[in-house]
Amino acid sequence: MFHLELEPRFSDTDALGHISNTALPVWFEQARTPIFQIFHPTLETDTWPLILARLEIDLKAQSYWHMPVEIRTGIGKIGNSSCHVVQEAWQNGKQVARGVAVLIHFDYAAEKALPIPDEIRSALSEHLMD
């Protein structure tokens, strides 16, 4: 499991003073960087091998500005050409959100999914979580 601690920005809040639901997808994307590096260590966009197929986020509790948020990132499932990235946001010892992103190993030139190579599959397996 990977961990990223973020300091929410004032602009991440909504009119009610909570962290806006629009902040979580951005935070989760940032916290997926270690997963991106497993697939593509250089992170060069010219040869990017992933495409986002699905993103779902469950908001579990209110979260607030001026308190750090920890994003926990792991792998939930590994398929033939896709993987489920499971992410949780924690603030003040409480889970405030949980999300799943489905990433597909993808060939943009051919516009088709590719099988995940064994070495990547092995590296992803080290980060399995419920």
- Give 73-120 pLDDT, tens digit per residue: 999 999 999 999 999 999 999 999 999 999 999 999 999 999 999 999
Q: According to the model, what pLDDT value does residue 110 have?
A: 96
Contact indicator for 19, 8 with CB cutoff of 8 Å: yes
How far is CA 34 from each of CA 17, 31, 50, 60, 121, rounded to the nearest angstrom?
Answer: 31, 7, 13, 25, 14
Domains of the chain: which residue ranges?
A: 2-125
Rounded CA separation 22/53 (Å): 18
Report the percent of the chain where pLDDT is more than 70. Answer: 100
- Give 14-71 pLDDT, tens digit per residue: 998 899 999 999 999 999 999 999 999 999 999 999 999 999 999 999 999 999 999 9
Rounded CA separation 32/43 (Å): 12
Q: CATH number of the domain at 2-125, please?
A: 3.10.129.10
Buried b (16+ CB within 10 A) or exposed e, 9-20: eeebbeeeebbe
